[in-house]
Amino acid sequence: MKLKILKIELAFQILLFLACGIWFILGGLSQNTSYILFYILPLLALSNLVGFLIRIFTVKSKWMMYYFFAVLIYLTTLFLMALSGESPTSTFSKAYLFGGSLLLSLFYTISGFFILKETKRNSEIILTNPKL
């Protein structure tokens, strides 16, 4: 059952990441970056949050710990940038916000494959050795 839940969640994350990527490419032709900040990034963040909760309640994995701490570090650096007086409309701020968010989302999606592999291997070990 855990494998089915994780596979469905991973498939949803992949489809959403691809859809947002296509939306980004199509919107990039119009050179309007505000829609990325208000539509794509919150959509990816919300789906990653829901997926993160599904994953941590379904299976324990070191990958989710890495993701959690990466998000904490990322949010802390954004907060420190805001405290330092960095303009949110500067090119560096936008690039950091967009690039960091997309990299975290990509890491989250890729880590799903490793979690599936670990869960599958653990379930096979339990099936072959029921005393464990």
For the chain, the domains span 2-128
Give the span between the Cα atoms of 92 and 90, in whole angstroms. Answer: 5
Comparing CA positions, the residue from 3, 4, 24 lying closest to residue 106 is 24
pLDDT of residue 31: 60
The whole-number average pLDDT for the span 31-38 is 69
Band of residue 111 on the pLDDT scale cut at 50, 70, 90: very high
Say if residue 128's pLDDT is above 90: no
pLDDT of residue 108: 92
Band of residue 60 on the pLDDT scale cut at 50, 70, 90: confident
DSSP collapsed to 3 states, the chain = CHHHHHHHHHHHHHHHHHHHHHHHHHHHCCCCCHHHHHHHHHHHHHHHHHHHHHHHHHCCCHHHHHHHHHHHHHHHHHHHHHHCCCCCCCHHHHHHHHHHHHHHHHHHHHHHHHHHHHHHHHHHHHHHCCCC
pLDDT of residue 107: 93
The residue that leads in pLDDT, 3 or 88, is 3
pLDDT of residue 124: 76
pLDDT tens readout for residues 82-108: 888 877 777 788 788 888 888 998 999
Torsion angle (degrees, nearest 10) of CA 14, 17, 22, 25: -140
The whole-number average pLDDT for the span 18-39 is 73
**pLDDT, the chain, mean:** 84
Say if residue 52's pLDDT is above 80: yes
pLDDT of residue 76: 94
